[in-house]
Amino acid sequence: MKRSLHILFFVVFFLVMMSFACFAADNQTNLGVQLPLWSILPFAGILLSIALMPLFVPRLWHYHFPKVSAFWAVSFAVPFLYFFREIAVHEIAHIIIIDYIPFILLLWALFTVSGGIYVRGSLKGTPAVNTVILLIGTLLASIIGTTGASMLLIRPILRSNAWRVHKVHTIVFFIFLVSNIGGALTPLGDPPLFLGFLHGVPFFWTMHILPEMALASVILLVVYFIMDSYYYQKESKPDAPDTEPKPLRIEGSHNFIFLAGIIAAVLLSGTIKLGEVNVFGIHQTAENLIKDAVLIVMGVLSLVYTKAEIRKGNEFSWAPILEVAYLFAGIFITIIPALAILKAGEKGALALLIQSVNTPAHYFWAVGLLSSFLDNAPTYLTFFNSVLGKFYPGVPEAQAVSALIVEKIPYLAAISVGAVFMGANTYIGNAPNFMVKSIAEEAGIKMPSFFGYMFKYSIPILITLFVVINFIFF
């Protein structure tokens, strides 16, 4: 096994070296124009590792997944740094400072604060109870974000279904609804919509996609209720809790103050302008640095002022957030060429794809399918800029966006729905997906593999749903 891994490393390393060697000589700063499509090989490698290694070498993956992530990151970063030097240093520093650190800090803060909120009492995991929890989570996701809603409700739904044998489908639909589709109604719900807000899309413009969100949510909740009712009938009823119901009460409610602080910090970072700060040659806005500081403070206050018994009741541990931090470090590093090519538009290796996207339906599927595997925020922004260039070439952005949100509603709606909804297609499509999976596995639930999730759940259920949405709306 070790010999095979060494051979694989050298093969990948050689291919990436050749890729960069052929194109670095141009000495251009636009990476997306220079790089061939096969420069994303390390990114594809880490995705396949996440998909296949838990299935074929589970023990190796369980104990060494940080090394696997580092393997792919190094196989890309070393030749990238060697051939592109200052450009490579800037690109890697940029994605770490601007994207990865804020990403992990937000997840860490929400994970820490939500882990201090304990819903005590008895909830029996019946189809009706589970459906109500999913509905509440779907509604909350647009208010406190998909990550916030996911971290707040995943533990209560796990405890209420702890006695059940058939519960994997419940966690999968939780990912569909709470971790993704529920975040479609406000810029607070999901990062792509927040980017749109930063570029001039009004805060409540996303209510235009309420029909799409309502239809998707209702269909999924109905399908879930039917499916859960079927599995509920197969449960061994003596295993069900038969004690007297205990009233629900919330412990650690002071953490809602910290949660509100996190939401306020994120919202204010997009509405105030305080200038820029140079961090190792990377221009970061002062408001974003303040936001990150507030996130750290909120998390630390939660740790200090929340009783240990509450976190123990939640079976809180740092394993899920550490797994996300390790794996997404590799993903963020190796995704650099993929995002660069995508941002190059018609001048990059994906020119054929960009040129073929013309109708709202095209935008819906192109943005959605790419968001299933790439970061949905830059994917949204790329096609957002693409549609501005298509209809309002040469027009200042503020004026173009003002026209877009009135004259081309179906296009922006398609981009928004594709980016938010189709993040549910894979575990890596949206940040909370992987965290929910990790928390569920820590609770003893055997979640489906990367491809198992896709072929058993997201493709037959979600893709079918998206075909219906496409037919009705786009």
> How large is the average pLDDT for residues 146-163?
84
Q: Is the pTM of this model over 0.85?
A: no
CA dihedral (231, 233, 234, 236) in degrees, to 10, reads 120
**What is the H or E stretch that residue 119 is in?**
strand 118-120
> How large is the average pLDDT for residues 20-36?
63
* Choice between 433 and 148, residue whose per-residue pLDDT is larger: 433
Indicate if the pLDDT at residue 458 is higher than 80: yes
Tell me what the pLDDT averaged over the chain comes to. 82
> How large is the average pLDDT for residues 302-322?
85
Indicate if the pLDDT at residue 182 is higher than 60: yes
| Closest of 136, 171, 438 to residue 315, by C-alpha | 438
Indicate if the pLDDT at residue 245 is higher than 70: no
pLDDT band at residue 240 using 50, 70 and 90 as cut-offs: low
> How large is the average pLDDT for residues 52-74?
84
pLDDT of 278: 81
Indicate if the pLDDT at residue 32 is higher than 80: no
Tokens at 409, concatenated: 């509603």
pLDDT band at residue 460 using 50, 70 and 90 as cut-offs: very high
Residue 30 sits at the vertex; the CA angle it makes with 28 and 31, to the nearest 5 degrees, is: 95
Q: Could you report the per-residue pLDDT of 288-300, keeping only the tens digit for each? A: 899 889 999 999 9
pLDDT of 274: 83
Q: How far apart are CA 377 and CA 191, in angstroms?
A: 6
Strand 249-251 with 118-120, pairing: antiparallel
Which residues lie across from 250 on neighbouring strands?
A: 119
Q: How far apart are CA 147 and CA 153, in angstroms?
A: 10
Tokens at 332, concatenated: 């963020």
Indicate if the pLDDT at residue 420 is higher than 80: yes
pLDDT of 242: 53
Under DSSP, is residue 196 helix (H, G, I), strand (E, B) or coil? helix
pLDDT of 216: 95
The b/e string for 10-44 (b: 16+ C-beta within 10 A; e otherwise) is eebbebbbebbeebbeeeeeebbbbbbeebbbbbe
> How large is the average pLDDT for residues 6-28?
57
> How large is the average pLDDT for residues 12-30?
57
pLDDT of 463: 94
Least trusted range by pLDDT, from 147-156, 382-391, 401-410: 382-391
Which residues, including other chains, have CB under 8 Å from residue 133's CB and lie 6 or more apart? 123, 153, 156, 157, 160
Show me where the domains of the chain are located.
Answer: 2-84, 115-237+245-252+306-473
> What does the chain come to in residues?
474
pLDDT of 187: 82
Indicate if the pLDDT at residue 253 is higher than 80: yes
Which residue in this structure is represented by tokens 């796990």?
158
Q: Could you report the per-residue pLDDT of 102-111, keeping only the tens digit for each? A: 878 888 888 8
pLDDT of 471: 92
Tokens at 63, concatenated: 């104990």
Highest mean pLDDT among 163-172, 219-228, 311-320, 334-343: 219-228
Q: Could you report the per-residue pLDDT of 66-122, keeping only the tens digit for each? A: 988 998 898 888 888 887 888 888 889 888 888 788 878 888 888 888 888 887 766
From the centroid of its chain, how far is CA 240?
34
Highest mean pLDDT among 137-141, 313-317, 395-399: 137-141
* Choice between 467 and 439, residue whose per-residue pLDDT is larger: 467
Q: Could you report the per-residue pLDDT of 272-285, keeping only the tens digit for each? A: 888 888 877 788 88
pLDDT of 313: 79
Which residues lie across from 279 on neighbouring strands?
A: 282
| Closest of 265, 160, 145, 127 to residue 137, by C-alpha | 145
pLDDT of 20: 59
Q: Could you report the per-residue pLDDT of 422-437, keeping only the tens digit for each? A: 989 988 788 788 888 9
Beta-carbon count within 10 A of 364 CB: 29
Highest mean pLDDT among 14-28, 59-73, 186-200: 59-73
